[in-house]
Amino acid sequence: MSSPESTTVQVVVDAPRHAGLAALDYRCDRSIEPGALVRVPLGRREVAGIVWQAAQRPHTPAELRAVVQRFEMLSPLPPQWMALVEFAAGYYQRSIGEVALAALPSELRRLSAAQLAARVRRSQRAPHALAAPASAAATLTAQQSAALAAIDDAASQPRAPLLLHGVTGSGKTEVYLRASEHALARGRQVLLLVPEINLTPQLLARVVERFPSRSVVAMHSALTPAQRLQAWLRAHAGSADIVLGTRLAVFASLPRLGLIVVDEEHDASYKQQEGARYSARDLAVYRGHLERVPVVLGSATPSLETWQHARSGRYQRLPLDERIGGAVLPRVRLFDMGSLPRAPGQPPPALAPAVLDALRERTARGEQALVFLNRRGYAPVLHCPDCGWKSECPHCSAWRVFHKFDRTLRCHHCGASESVPRACPSCGNLDIQPIGRGTEKLAEQLAAALPVARIARLDADATRSRGALERTLAAVHDGEVDILVGTQMVTKGHDFRRISLVVAVNPDSALFSSDFRAAERQFALLMQAAGRAGRDAAHAGSEMWVQTWHPQHALFAALRAHDYALFAQRLLAEREAAGLPPFAHLALLRAEARDAAAAMKFLRRAAELGAALPEASGVAVYPPVPMAVARVANVERLQMLAESASRLRLQRFLAAWLPQLHALRGEVKGLARWAVDVDPLAI
């Protein structure tokens, strides 16, 4: 037994579940509260850990190693935070320590107690917002007022999550700000989640402008480790009133949490794709349930899972059906690319003459236009017309994309890059040519067709340097850009007041995809893109042109009517008939190896082990297949789908299956790694 002077605690450390190191017993000279951050010996190292609970079995002092440091200047992590981590670890089949330590800033895990004490003192001295006149709040519409009242009701008496379903430009952000104002007035903190970093500056500016006397911090991956630690410390101490961040911010420690907002809740960026593959949106809903605070999910195009919950009454739908300020949704016009005359063997033009005329007319009137093409780079592939060579990536089952600006061929999967060859590597032909187009080429073609127009490009390549995103967005808002060309980055959440025309180029690729979610994602993208036009009532004649080879497709009929409900109804009927989410629950087992045979052997043996489990009843496991991009960085990738109509049955099956998979890992030679993805976004 431990001596009266000492106590024993269970500490979680950053280790995978199969390592058996996620929760270890240590002795300490006095009591330590659960949630306290400590440093403990692990092998020959000292690592950060979190005291989770008292040790579950008695020990003698000689049996246990001692806690090295206790970070007394840092208050323990709240019980609700620990409950959220436990749920995430269990649901997504990871260890508690792996999730808990990954949710903390890297600097917090690295520093000594003395170093952290200095950082804590510095965060307490960090400049707070100065008292200043707040920006004037807009007058609410009747629907905005009703939505705000429902959120306030949910704050006083916890209820179901709220779906703020508003067309683009209907004032969802104003509702978020008013609800935040009410939460702050109650002495509570607010968590605002956005799907991507590029949406942070605009919303952050509005929040700071509305609440100049409040402490607002941002949490996202573009911050330096020191900046992220300072933001986390202020949130944890309760001195930050509003935390605005991307998906990892769902784990921010907030002792006074009173409201959670998930903006653009449908966005795939809320799903983590490495490590613990969690959905920040779903964890936000669970966190609201744990802490009994309202959760507002905002979107013009909700995910089908969220929409089905609203239809069934599990979520409360708050409609915003009209744009604010007298603005109207743009008229959607389809252009049939098959109607264009062209010579045999010649590619179609980038933009139809009617679309070019519309762009020319808008820019001549001093209005702005947005041209959306969801493919970056200059061209998807280079090829040789003589021998048929193409710019295939030697490491992946994908093409290397031609980037004209720096004359490189780049793989967007493994990152391999090399200079464009002077001649065909296969036959020496000097006339190698690009096939297709990306945003770089489209911007070049627009500049040639409309030489007086000021054209800017917004994609991952154009915003690579620090501050490039903010500079481009500022130029658009200041009217210094006539035509903005971009990928999906430009379609989400931006409030471009001068844009009166949107053009969608080549949106057909998702119409016939094998991915069952492709049509849902494409419809959301196009609806969001259309929503960038006509946000100012002065542009009553705003338009969206869609260049398509399939104008009769049902997706475009719903798009022309701006009718999300119609499209969702059709997709839900298809999903229910096929037994797909939200009417079924999925998990993917993925395996990677240098040799595909090793990955296949692991998955086939895993299927045999799973089928023998008593928990396999009601769970279907399908044969292994290659992933959509089967090879990345010389690693072959295969996957196997597990499906059940019952979420509980699937979870029980996974919990019983995983120990066998960990044991199987050592039996299969050549296997690089494997992972389970619960609720995958793509199969």
Q: Band the pLDDT of 2: cuts 50, 70, 90.
A: very low
Inter-residue contact 371 to 362 (CB < 8 Å): no
Strand-pair category, 242-245 with 216-219: parallel
Angle CA 32–35–37, to nearest 5 = 75
Residue 146 has pLDDT above 50, yes or no: yes
pLDDT at 72: 87
In the chain, count of helices (H) and strands (E)? Answer: 18, 28
Strand-pair category, 408-410 with 417-419: antiparallel
- Give the model confidence (pLDDT) of 188-231 as tens digits: 999 999 998 878 888 898 999 999 999 999 999 888 999 999 99
Residue owning tokens 């489209």: 442
DSSP summary character for residue 561: T
CATH 3.40.50.300 fits 142-325, yes or no: yes
Q: Band the pLDDT of 1: cuts 50, 70, 90.
A: very low
Mean pLDDT for 637-658 is: 97
Q: Of the given ranges (3-7, 435-439, 492-496), which has the lowest mean pLDDT? A: 3-7
| Overall CATH class of domain 585-678 | alpha beta
Dist CA 588 CA 86 (whole Å) = 21
Q: Band the pLDDT of 22: cuts 50, 70, 90.
A: low
Question: 327-378+437-575 — its CATH code?
Answer: 3.40.50.300
Residue type, 447: A
- Which of the listed ranges 124-128, 286-290, 511-515 does the model predict with the highest average pLDDT? 286-290
Q: Of the given ranges (63-67, 146-150, 275-279, 415-419), which has the lowest mean pLDDT? A: 63-67
Angle CA 139–145–147, to nearest 5 = 135
pLDDT at 177: 97
388: CB partners within 8 A, 6+ apart: none
pLDDT at 546: 97
- Average predicted confidence (pLDDT) for the chain: 91
Which region holds residue 213: left if phi is over 0, alpha if psi is between -120 and 50, else beta? alpha
pLDDT at 194: 95
pLDDT at 138: 81
- Give the model confidence (pLDDT) of 352-409 as tens digits: 999 999 999 999 999 999 999 999 999 999 999 999 999 999 999 999 999 998 899 9
pLDDT-above-90 percentage for the chain: 75
pLDDT at 277: 95
pLDDT at 452: 94
Q: Peptide bond before 582: cis, by omega within 30 degrees of 0?
A: yes
In three-state secondary structure terms, 131 is coil
CA distances from 164 to 205, 291, 306, 463 (A): 22, 20, 11, 31
Count CA atoms within 13 Å of residue 466 on its CB side: 3
- Give the model confidence (pLDDT) of 305-324 as tens digits: 999 999 999 999 999 999 98
Residue 4 sits at φ, ψ, to 5 deg, of -60, -30
Residue type, 282: D
348: CB partners within 8 A, 6+ apart: 337, 340, 342
Residue 592 sits at φ, ψ, to 5 deg, of -130, 140
Sign of torsion, CA 203 204 206 211?
A: positive
The string of DSSP letters for 481-544 reads -SEEEESGGGTSS---TTEEEEEE-S-GGGTT-SSTTHHHHHHHHHHHHHTTS--STT-TT-EE
Domain ranges (residues) in the chain = 7-103, 142-325, 327-378+437-575, 585-678
Mean pLDDT for 522-534 is: 93
404: CB partners within 8 A, 6+ apart: 378, 440, 441, 444
- Which of the listed ranges 116-130, 419-433, 482-496, 507-521 does the model predict with the highest average pLDDT? 419-433
- Give the model confidence (pLDDT) of 472-508 as tens digits: 988 999 999 999 999 988 887 787 889 999 999 989 8
Mean pLDDT for 623-648 is: 96
pLDDT-above-70 percentage for the chain: 96
Q: Do domains 7-103 and 585-678 have the same CATH topology?
A: no
pLDDT at 382: 93
Could you say which architecture CATH assigns to the domain 7-103?
Answer: 3-Layer(aba) Sandwich (3.40)
pLDDT at 21: 60
Q: Of the given ranges (8-17, 184-193, 289-298, 579-588), which has the lowest mean pLDDT? A: 8-17
Residue 137 has pLDDT above 90, yes or no: no
